[in-house]
Structure 1
């Protein structure tokens, strides 16, 4: 989005027009709306900007709920924005630590600053891109304790009593396939880690961030929301909790659940395949707290180094998806296809760990037919490549109380 498009969209005419656009879906709807708006005398540039914003607002509802209908977005900003329940998790951490002032370096469209402002924290939201900062200023206008500035994160002068939130982005310059170094982040990871060593800091990173690069004294928290592992957040200073270096959070409709540890946990011993197979939430796997979870629910490992647990009960845990075993087969395509046909299974979820199989290609070869549904778990069991035909009995993230902590 160009500067002039933002200015036109932020005009009184642009905002009134945007709020008047009804939800639309198909390309025919877009063409009809565009033609109607042009006939009403609106410029082609304004019509294009308004229709783009209307589409972004529809997409943003998955992250921001009902708030999306009163916000503005950029394509990149929406893609990178923290979804609102996760932003609330961040803001709550600052508030509980007694932090009053936060500088959000790399605020994007303002998702995290919005959650902080809702808790009356004093926030300076900074982005170096003027268009993104203008969008953030619009989104954050309802919060008098939040200000927005255009600046380079590494050049901002920080007051001594200010905590920091960072969302460093990978730079877009082509890297030729080589490993991305710390200086290819913006702001650089060296800068981010130096801040974390000198003041209370929260740093949002991708969940697959290289664990070997996490400073040993920072609390590392992985978050699964809506079944997807969405981020790793590093916390330092007063924002980090004594004795906690690893944390896995699962956010569900009923609240949040957290599993914490002082270090990576050792796996439980391998046990024979039981009545159920359990898949830990991605945050638990990333945090390497599978062993602690297994001990908490009375399960064992299905195979060495494989993130599946097994046992004869389906524990009531928000950290697990559970599958009831119906048939155990060798990982033989023809044998599996025959079993699925005999059972009339036409809808098949395929999950795999520790075996070299492409689930999408494998599914096509099975010739599925029928109305029944099932899950096929592909994994080594007792040293053999095995297919476990199962029925899903529990979804991960089924949180039934406001906050649960398992240690």
Structure 2
């Protein structure tokens, strides 16, 4: 269902019907569709309302209970900032003493919502008419927040003391959305963001986590963020929003709160002052934000460990140490990577559940898992393999996850 279906939801009949429904359950969607049509609602309205109810349920992972009072487009929800991360964005503007914020390319309004919650005066600008309508609904509870439909690059910033941007990084077609990787192909492009920063404006911009270090402007702080192990974004901060002495950072948010690792200098591949050595008693897998920020060597040093290979983000260490920046595994055995031998090992050890992690090897874990388990019987045991390189050697490290 295209996102233009939201227009049906925003009629009085559609809005009342949407808010009369309980939580969306896939197993009951067919019956609910039939019942609503029997009650006299048009097929188009029913389809639109059920689509929106499904999006609300999906949005709970990002917005919690707020999702039940919001409206969404599929692309808008996909790119929207998680509410707990948006709150951290907004806090930067508060700490910098910025009051009047322009949110350029606001999408469905997630970051504008967080700014408004912290009593900032927010003007959210969105080019797409349907998405702007969604943002208007989502920001209605905050009188100091308003939505303007228009081009972010043409918006007059006179009187604003801070700017936030979340450029569109996907193209939408009838077959779905496609990710864009070139920062100059974003809407608006990174060069536009830099032009605002060059004017002295405090600017924050959300980028995809895959942005290469060489594409980073020289006058910003780059902060990679992960939530529960999922790297969600790289945020660039300019001028008053940039922290002194921080060039790159990894912010790791998990069940026990947030932890951050920072560096004052640019990332220089191969220039880290850390040893490379053999597999040790424990193997650590750094968080994705740490890897993206180029801070693996910093974590290795903090653990008293070393890299297993200078080009691969696995750390070996002699002792178990608790860290929010990496997941720990106890090493049980190191085997050469040989599919036939591994298959025999799986069968001999009665392994029926096999987790496979890999770095630095052109192996598809799902295909290898199927290959190793086929014909081995459904054994009662579970095992974890880490496939990687040690210099020129390919190995399979048998590990046991350490429960935090």
TM-score scaled to structure 2, two decimals?
A: 0.91
| Corresponding position of 1:318 | 324
1:188 equivalent to 2:194? Answer: no
Equivalences for residues 98-177 of structure 1 within 5 A: 98-170=97-169, 172=171
Distance 2:219 2:39 in 1: 61
Q: CA deviation at 1:183?
A: 4.4
Partner of residue 259, structure 2: 257
Shift of the 249–394 alpha-carbon distance from structure 1 to 2, 3 Å rule, reads: farther
Contact 1:125–1:146 (Cα < 8 Å) also in 2: yes
Per-residue deviation at 1:381? 2.3
Q: CA contact under 8 A between 2:90 and 2:118: conserved in structure 1?
A: yes
Is this contact kept in 2: 1:219–1:245, CA < 8 A?
yes
CA distance in 2, matches of 1:32, 1:45: 16
Per the alignment, residue 23 of structure 1 pairs with 23
**CA offsets, 1:72-113, max 9 Å, x none?**
001111111111111112111111121111111010001111
Q: 1:340 aligns with which of 337, 346, 353?
A: 346
Secondary structure of 2:71's match? Answer: coil
Q: 1:272 deviation in Å?
A: 2.4
Verify the 8 A CA contact 1:88 1:112 in the aligned structure 2.
yes
* CA displacement 1:286-324 (0-9 Å, x = unmatched): 111111111122111111221010112221111111111
Q: Is the 8 A contact 1:171 1:186 kept in 2?
A: no
User: 2 CA distance for matches of 1:180 and 1:307?
Assistant: 23
Partner of 1:47: 46
Q: Which runs of 5+ in 1 are unaligned?
A: 396-407
In the other structure, the counterpart of 1:399 is none
How many angstroms does 1:8 deviate by? 3.5
Contact 1:321 1:394 in 2 (8 A): no
In the alignment of these two chains, the number of paired residues is: 391
Relative to structure 1, the CA distance from residue 107 to residue 161 in structure 2 (aligned partners, 3 Å threshold; closer, same or farther) is closer
Q: Which moved more, 1:149-158 or 1:339-348?
A: 339-348
C-alpha RMSD over aligned residues: 2.1
- Counterpart position of 2:386: 377
CA 1:289 to 1:186, structure 2 compared with 1: closer, same or farther past 3 Å?
A: same
Aligned CA distance change for structure 1 residues 180 and 254 (closer, same or farther; 3 Å): closer
Q: Distance in 2 between matches of 1:181 and 1:251?
A: 27
* Residues 4 and 130 in structure 2, CA contact (< 8 A), matched pair in contact too: no
Which residue of structure 2 lines up, in the alignment, with residue 294 of structure 1?
300
Greater mean deviation of Cα atoms: 222-231 or 191-200: 191-200
Pairs within 5 Å for 1:389-404: 389-394=398-403
Unmatched tracts of structure 2, length 5 or more: none
Is 2:6–2:73's contact at 8 Å kept on the other side of the alignment? no
Q: 1:313-349 CA deviation, whole Å, 9 max, x = no partner?
A: 2211111111111111000112112222222222222
**Partner SS state of residue 307, structure 1:** strand
**Normalised TM-score (structure 1):** 0.91
1:106 and 1:166 in contact (8 A); partners too: yes
- Asked if residue 212 in structure 1 is aligned to residue 218 in structure 2, the reply is no
Does the CA contact (< 8 Å) of 2:248 and 2:262 recur in 1?
Answer: yes
Pairwise CA distance, 1:255: 1.4
Counterpart of 1:275?
281
- The aligned counterpart of 1:67 is 66
Which structure's relative contact order is higher, taking Cα pairs within 8 Å and 6+ residues apart? 1
Q: Mean Cα displacement is larger for which, 69-78 or 291-300?
A: 291-300
Checking the alignment, whether the CA contact within 8 Å between 1:223 and 1:248 is kept in structure 2 is yes
Closer, same or farther in 2 for the Cα pair 1:130/1:244, shift >3 Å?
Answer: same
Could you tell me which of 221, 227, 245 is aligned with 1:225? 227
